[in-house]
Amino acid sequence: MQGPARWGGRATAARIEPAGRLRHKEGQAGGQAVIELRQVGMGYGGRRLFAGLDLSLQPGSFHFLTGPSGAGKTTLLKLCYAELRATEGQVMLFGQDTRSMGRDAVALARRRIGVVHQDCQFLDHLPLAENILLPLTVAGRRAEGEVHLPELLAWVGLSRRADALPPELSGGERQRAALARAVITGPEVILADEPTGNIDWDMSQRLLTLLVELNRMGRAVLVATHDLTLIRAAKAQVAARVLRLREGRLLQAGADL
Ligand SMILES: Nc1ncnc2c1ncn2[C@@H]1O[C@H](COP(=O)(O)OP(=O)(O)OP(=O)(O)O)[C@@H](O)[C@H]1O
Ligand SMILES: [Mg+2]
């Protein structure tokens, strides 16, 4: 396999980004969190998943979220992009309390967040390129996306698959396409839910490299994963914090990971 395709570094990324999105650098302490959960509780029906949960994602930070299946990792991510509303507590997106935000304000905030979903669904009748462009197409910004698409496809190593239909893609290709679709809008935050589920180790490493590159370009990254080997590999490349969701509590994992 070839080495990971690149976006070509910071200068290229700045062209891909809407203006003014790259001002944050890792290590800025005490700035405004891009996403913040304060004393958040969440459950479905009568069943409580977690309570009193605090989380603060600073610009340029890198977090892993781990924990057993069913602990609520996907649910927590959904709270972070206001797909779900918390049953208790405050969820702040870019300094605004989601409880006081109308639908338009939530939609605007969500455009600043790129999400790689656990199931990475695509529209199967549309070629890959169209699927990746979709977030900009629906936002009326398709032309902007078309300019940057070749570069983005090269970065995720899918230049030759632009015309393929999603059912023709391998698992690793789907995961990389999902990442490309998540970042085409130039988001400040990337939330990735098991982005390396069902792919082999080489491909997992490749995905990880892409996420680390995004982080180095200033984005906050939060990755939900079961894969402790991946977390260990990441720690050699980036100052990642590891959070563990277990039995309704979110704890910072120790160095023993
Ligand atoms: N829409 C829903 N309605 C009812 N229960 C739900 C809903 N979504 C999730 N749950 C339940 O909430 C719990 C947490 O689900 P969630 O998907 O957040 O876990 P997870 O940590 O992401 O698990 P996995 O590692 O398997 O992806 C599970 O018991 C799940 O069945
Ligand atoms: Mg999940």
Q: What is the pLDDT of residue 256?
A: 58
User: Is the Cβ–Cβ distance between 178 and 116 less than 8 Å?
Assistant: yes
Q: What is the pLDDT of residues 160-206, one digit of tens each?
A: 999 999 999 999 999 999 999 999 999 999 999 999 987 889 889 98
Shortest-distance Cα residue to atom 31 of ligand 1: 70
Q: What is the pLDDT of residue 197?
A: 84
Atom of ligand 1 nearest to the CA of 194: 27
Q: Could you identify the residue written with the tokens 């905030």?
A: 109
Distance from C-alpha of 114 to C-alpha of 117, rounded to nearest angstrom: 10
C-alpha to C-alpha distances, 170 to 173, 179, 184, 208, 213, nearest whole angstrom: 5, 14, 21, 17, 23
**Is pLDDT of 23 > 60?**
no
C-alpha to C-alpha distances, 239 to 8, 26, 60, 91, 243, nearest whole angstrom: 22, 9, 10, 25, 13
Q: What is the pLDDT of residue 30?
A: 57
How many other β-carbons are positioned within 10 Å of the β-carbon of residue 23? 10
Atom of ligand 1 nearest to the CA of 78: 18
Please report the DSSP string for 199-220 in residue order. --HHHHHHHHHHHHHHHHTT-E
Atom of ligand 1 nearest to the CA of 224: 22
User: Is the Cβ–Cβ distance between 148 and 206 less than 8 Å?
Assistant: no
Q: What is the pLDDT of residues 123-150, one digit of tens each?
A: 999 999 999 999 999 888 899 888 899 9
Q: What is the pLDDT of residues 26-44, one digit of tens each?
A: 444 457 999 999 999 999 9
Q: What is the pLDDT of residue 120?
A: 87
Q: What is the pLDDT of residue 16?
A: 38
Tell me how far the alpha carbon of residue 74 lies from the centroid of ligand 1, in angstroms. Answer: 7
For the ranges 5-19, 77-91, 148-162, 243-257, the lowest mean pLDDT is seen at 5-19
Q: What is the pLDDT of residues 223-239, one digit of tens each?
A: 999 999 999 999 999 99
Tell me how far the alpha carbon of residue 118 lies from the centroid of ligand 1, in angstroms. Answer: 12
Q: What is the pLDDT of residues 53-68, one digit of tens each?
A: 999 999 999 999 999 9
Assign 5 a pLDDT band (cuts: 50, 70, 90).
very low
Q: What is the pLDDT of residues 91-106, one digit of tens each?
A: 999 999 999 999 999 9
Q: Output the six-digit token pair for 249.
A: 């509590």
Tell me how far the alpha carbon of residue 1 lies from the centroid of ligand 1, in angstroms. Answer: 35
Distance from C-alpha of 137 to C-alpha of 217, rounded to nearest angstrom: 24
Ligand 1 pocket mutation pick from 48, 50, 53, 73 by most atoms within 8 angstroms of CB: 73
Tell me how far the alpha carbon of residue 76 lies from the centroid of ligand 2, in angstroms. Answer: 9
Task: Give the residues surrounding ligand 1 with Cβ less than 6 Å away.
Answer: 44, 49, 67, 69-75, 118
Q: What is the pLDDT of residues 103-116, one digit of tens each?
A: 999 999 999 999 99
Shortest-distance Cα residue to atom 18 of ligand 1: 72
Tell me the three state secondary structure of residue 164. Answer: coil
Tell me how far the alpha carbon of residue 51 lies from the centroid of ligand 2, in angstroms. Answer: 18
Domains of the chain are 32-253 (3.40.50.300)
Tell me how far the alpha carbon of residue 211 lies from the centroid of ligand 1, in angstroms. Answer: 24
Atom of ligand 1 nearest to the CA of 67: 21
